Structure 1
Amino acid sequence: MQISEGITTYVAGSLVDKAMNELKYLCCYKSYVDDFEKEKPSLSATRNTVLKDIKDAEDKNKNQIEDDVQLWLDIAKGLIQEETKEKKKWFGLVTNCFWQYKRGKELEGKTQRIRQLIVERNNFTHIACSTESPDIKFYSSQNFMHFENTKLKFKQLKEACRLKDGKKFMIGLYGLGGTGKTTMAIEVGKEVVALKDFDKVIFSVVSKDPNLKKIRENIANQLGLPIDEKMGESKQAQSLWKRIFEGRENILIILDDMWKELTLQDIGIPPGYHDKGCCVVLLTTRQTTVCRDMGCHDNIKLEVLNEKDAMYLFLFYAGINIDGSSNDFEDVVASIVKECGGLPIAIVAMARALKSRSLNDLKDALVRLQNYVPTYSANEELKEAYNSLKLSYDYLKNEKAKNLFLLCSLFPEDYEIPIELLTRIAIGLGLCGDANKYFIARSEFTPIKNELIDSCLLLKSRNEIVKMHDLVREVALWIGKEQVQVGMDSNTTLDENIQYSS
């Protein structure tokens, strides 16, 4: 009998303890809310640190976020966005006790989860890793065309790059912006690899304000060379130099869009022939002085297209067939092409803008081209290109696409713009409707972006990445000179009535 009473007392006590333990979620609901809200700022700060680490990794060409890090970010974001102000009521009057009990218990678990996440952050061994370097074929254009006056230049460039003369290891390709220097250099790279002259062809953009560290890391990444982040730049350059010098490979390095002389040793490039390999450098530039300053052994100039080739290029992209057409039609097309200055980038942009248009539309476009008076202090040879690209901008049907075009010019020259980043900025600036309806806004961004790509005013760089041709960016800054201001540092004083600034 005493044993039975003891068991009954124990069970009853356990039930009371359990009931009281569960009741606390109802009675102390506010304390669970407060605890949760106190932990959220710490998680938010930790998440911001992780995002900063990811940005630093991207600057080092480590673009692939580790799966466990991405999962951590998603869970942390969900907890940070958790709303605790709402209370459910019966008939809109009295607090729903069952809901409050359940919600209090849930918040206790989420508070513990926040603390776990902050601890887990310290267990990340890697934030991001380098994706596999794209082959030179990746950069090539599917629509690359050989024209009469470029065939010879292409052959000259290819022969200059081939390993027939042990004394030539610096090659220069120069010409006006928009003549197709980058495209030709890449196509030559493809061919010399196919001919087994080179084991590897590496492509790296230099730009007006070269970042030697980024160029070095880009080349090292394509060579599969891990760069120690703790090394100084000099040590990194030495490491890259040693990899190329002792790699027993024939390597062609394309340094695209150079504006001034660079010391290759500072990057880590050993040009010349080594014991069992060589390193040949092909640079592209707008200025022949760069070729001279860099000591190029062969300097090849890429000219603008002649009238016949320019006509063919325009008709191809405009989807126009002039066979059997009136002389007026052919004459108008020829005049439009002439106004484009023979520059392929301007011709293609103009052709896309006038695709499948009527003769009257083409005549109107010609009148506008002939009557543009640029105020931009451009090189005299580039005024036609500026005018034609400006008209391509004018022909954009969507006003939001025009705003996005100006917005893209804020990014640095040759910058590879992540579409995700551009989407978020566009939504934030109200270019895609109501930002509160995020998924709807995202869907509205795609046709705006595609209109710029279809007009050749924005280029696909690689998966989920776009960029602006440097000449197009210059035109965008010229067009938006009253609305757009690019600042190089935080001390820049913004002009009045500026719509977009960086």
Structure 2
Amino acid sequence: MDCISGFASSFSRDLVVGTTNQLRYPCCFNDFLKDLEQEEEKLITTRNSVEDRVKHARKQVIKNAEVVNAWLEKSNPLKDKVEHLIKKARTNRSCCFGYCPNWIWKYHLAKKLAKRRKEVEMCVQEGKMYIQYERIASLSSKQHFLENCLKFDSREGDYEELLEALKDDDVTTIGLYGMGGCGKTTMAMELMRTAEAENLFDKVLFVSVSNIVDVRKIQDRIASALQFQFPEEGETERAQRLCSRLNLDDQRTLVILDDLWQSLDFGVIGIPSGQNHGNCKVLITTQYETVCSLMNCQRMVYLSTLTDEEAWELFQNQAHLSESTSDNLKHLGRLISDECKGLPVAIAALASTLKGKAEDDWNVALVRLKNSIPVNIERGLKDPYKCFRVSYDNLDTKEAKSLFLLCSVFPEGYEIPVETLIRFAIGLGMVGEVWSYEEARNEVCAAKNKLISSCLLSDIGGGKHVKMHDLVRDVALCIASNENKVIKCMMEKNATLECRSSIRYLLCKEFPSELNRSSC
């Protein structure tokens, strides 16, 4: 009897517990719905994190494990099923004309909610294994580098032309060229800021190259900007991997190569180009027009110097001149600014060097500029004289170097007739051994064109005259003095040529007979 009583008691207890468990489905319906909604949020967050890791792996040109892709394929339909079930649960189902809840409907649906929540919970736990929790943070834009940058009306057209080329899908390579120190880097950085602000590209990379080309260093700089690491050591293999990274179908990339001194082979570095450029666009800045041509730039923009008023505005800004500055110091500043002939790097260097110094220092600087003597630039500032010296050193023919020094013999701001320049160069034997005057003339013209392409000379009057910037001339005179190739402009009637291998006497009233020989 006790046995039957115990069995009945146990059975009734299990029946009550079972009934209670079943009743909680319709009674706690909203709790089941809320639990599933919370798990849905966790699933979405986990899925986004895993997808982010997959994208990062693609950028690193790393193949994802099969289980990761399988999880993503499994989680997506699960997410859709959860959304459908939640939407169904939010529907107000009732009976008795809306006066009584539909308990049977709630019971069945609550069981589905509970079952689906367990599935989602297990899926989330698995997905967390595929999340990379730590990642190097991206650097912020270089916009703060341009806080003191002034915009000038004379350059607005150049800026707009470059910006239009960046937006043109048919243009893949753009060249910005101009004489050293004219502001090409500043212009490129301003374009970078605009491209980022207007979301023209998914990624904008700024890489300084300089006059010594190191392929591995360029590759490393691009990879660093992309937060990308090479598993290979060979340049060829690194180039292939970098090309794959830059050629992602879903990412538009702008690569800015600043300060090129010679033509680069994009393929050797790993930059997509030509018909296989994908979504990668390149902007180069260089001092040489020929570099733009050799690198097949579809759009080439020449950046000239500033106007006198723009130069004065830049000088005042860099020297911190204000209304309280004495009129005498302002007058000296204006004269110094005019001597810089609109070259931004010289204006900024001189203004920063003289900032806060006594009036005597300003007078010394002005006298040195007027007498073609380089001004001592403070350390840490970009020295325009060194910039032009490097440009001279990079000339690859002795004819171009000799012609460069010859041009410095003419007065400041002088528009040199090309025919006169050719005559002087031939007369001084700069072209070496030639068999005809026409050959000699062609050699000089080729050297002249090289100087113009290098922006060390300016073409004036449609090719009939050339002109040398005053600061470039100062550097040329300094080089001539240091290399013992001083050019003496004598006025004696019977001047003689001291040494045929060097430049000695020019602009005389009467030329030595040796210069008039027609043996060339």
Q: Give TM-score scaled by structure 2 length.
A: 0.45
Question: Could you say which structure has the larger radius of gyration?
Answer: 2
Q: Give TM-score scaled by structure 1 length.
A: 0.46
